[in-house]
Amino acid sequence: MKTILVTGGAGFIGSAVIRHLINETDHTVVNVDKLTYAGNLESLVSVSANARYSFEQVDICDAAEIQRVLLQYQPDIIMHLAAESHVDRSIDGPAEFIHTNIIGSYTMLEQARLYWTDLTEAKKSNFRFHHISTDEVYGDLEGTDDLFTETTAYAPSSPYSASKASSDHLVRAWHRTFGFPTLITNCSNNYGPYHFPEKLIPLVILNALAGKPLPVYGTGNQIRDWLYVEDHARALVLVATSGDIAETYNIGGHNEMQNIEVVKTICHLLEELAPQKPAGVEHYEDLISFVTDRAGHDVRYAIDASKIQKELDWSPIETFDSGIRKTVQWYLANLDWCEHVLDGSYQQ
């Protein structure tokens, strides 16, 4: 049994990791989250009373507070997920992304390194710092058959992806310069329960149920590899506990789809699962609205996840068909959670 500190544990992916750790392992979990707009403790209600779970409302840029938490809880593993992660927001206001994703990651690395340096040899040899990143650091793919591998050159397109690329470089530098035991994972687009409603899939579900337009950038031909968040959580815990130090693992869902296909799939599912439509709506697809494309929009992402499958025996359980059905069903069954996010009451 280990003590695992998760930064950004109240976020979409972080909360899935914590639910997995509490429900499927014997590890103790410390959740460190500033509780920005994307942090929602309601996503952790099912595990928050567990004796193996602790929460600390701390900003990862606050070195003194991070030092206190590390000394108080003595973690064996740090899983660093805390980040600003919405591309549109990074275009509107890059500064917060630079601050959180670069300065915050530096602060976590340096405070963790200082903590690690003073550990006993036995504890030091078992310590790991797992940095969770994105496939967007690679830019986009030109060909229809190319895949991102762990050695693909970085070519970020947005302030968000550039800030994540910067943090990846810091993590590798801390390993090479200081011998600090790090691992990195780069994942494809996540979806599933508890996803913040500004992201494509929950936005489409909730807008459709409300009879609002379903905005699609450009022609909707952008291709993404979709990864069910609970599959991702399993992979992250596996890498954190069993991956090789200094290695990078790409995690993908093997589910490439155009954005317009994703939107239409959701509409078809809603026809079946929510046939009582809002007034004036004959078909959910009628709500699709094409809008001006995002600046610098990457066209295609696709991940080669063969390394993690071969070396750690991980592969996704969910297909896109099974995962998106579960996702739509979850949102239909948890409209209270959605309403609390949309009206802001989850932050109180």
pLDDT tens by residue, 158-197: 999 999 999 999 999 999 999 999 999 999 999 999 999 8
Contact status, residue 31 vs residue 6, Cβ threshold 8 Å: yes
Q: With a cut of 80, say whether residue 144 has pLDDT above it.
A: no
In-domain check, residue 283: no
Whole-prediction pTM = 0.95
The rounded percent of the chain whose pLDDT value lies above 70 is 100
In-domain check, residue 212: no
> Total domain count for the chain?
1
Contact status, residue 43 vs residue 71, Cβ threshold 8 Å: no
Q: With a cut of 80, say whether residue 9 has pLDDT above it.
A: yes
Q: With a cut of 90, say whether residue 108 has pLDDT above it.
A: yes
In angstroms, rounded to a whole number, what is the distance separating the alpha carbons of residues 278 and 289? 17
What integer is the mean pLDDT of 5-26? 98
* Residue 178 burial (10 A CB sphere; 0-12, 13-18, 19+): middle
CA-based nearest residue to 291, from 225, 224, 212, 226: 212
**Structural domain boundaries, residue 119:** 3-196+226-254+299-319
In-domain check, residue 171: yes
Q: With a cut of 90, say whether residue 105 has pLDDT above it.
A: yes
pLDDT given at position 197: 87
In angstroms, rounded to a whole number, what is the distance separating the alpha carbons of residues 229 and 226? 9
Which among 135, 168, 298, 318 is annotated as catalytic?
A: 135
Contact status, residue 43 vs residue 10, Cβ threshold 8 Å: yes
Residue 160 appears among annotated catalytic residues: yes
The CATH number for 72's domain is 3.40.50.720
Which among 59, 136, 225, 318 is annotated as catalytic?
A: 136
Tokens of 317: 């359980």
Task: Write the pLDDT tens digit of every residue in 41-91.
Answer: 999 999 999 999 999 999 999 999 999 999 999 999 999 999 998 888 999
Tokens of 301: 């992402």
Q: Which residue has the tokens 């459709």?
A: 208
CA-based nearest residue to 162, from 84, 258, 259, 81: 84
In-domain check, residue 186: yes
Angle between helices 12-24 and 229-242 (to 10 degrees): 70
Q: Which residue has the tokens 């797992």?
A: 130
Tokens of 271: 């026809």
Alpha carbons within 13 A on the beta-carbon side of 11: 24
Task: Write the pLDDT tens digit of every residue in 243-278.
Answer: 999 999 999 998 999 999 999 999 999 999 999 999
Contact status, residue 49 vs residue 23, Cβ threshold 8 Å: no
Task: Write the pLDDT tens digit of every residue in 18-37.
Answer: 999 999 999 999 999 999 99
pLDDT given at position 276: 95
Cα 121 to chain centroid, rounded: 33
In angstroms, rounded to a whole number, what is the distance separating the alpha carbons of residues 332 and 270? 9
Q: CA angle 210-318-147, nearest 5°?
A: 100
Alpha carbons within 13 A on the beta-carbon side of 80: 33
pLDDT given at position 83: 97
In-domain check, residue 286: no
In-domain check, residue 250: yes
**Mean pLDDT of all residues belonging to the chain:** 96
Contact status, residue 163 vs residue 216, Cβ threshold 8 Å: no
Q: With a cut of 80, say whether residue 143 has pLDDT above it.
A: no
Which among 115, 160, 331, 346 is annotated as catalytic?
A: 160
Residue 88 appears among annotated catalytic residues: no
In-domain check, residue 110: yes
pLDDT given at position 88: 87
Contact status, residue 15 vs residue 9, Cβ threshold 8 Å: yes
In-domain check, residue 246: yes
Strand partners, 78: 5, 129
In angstroms, rounded to a whole number, what is the distance separating the alpha carbons of residues 222 and 200? 12
Residue 136 appears among annotated catalytic residues: yes
CA-based nearest residue to 174, from 94, 82, 78, 306: 78
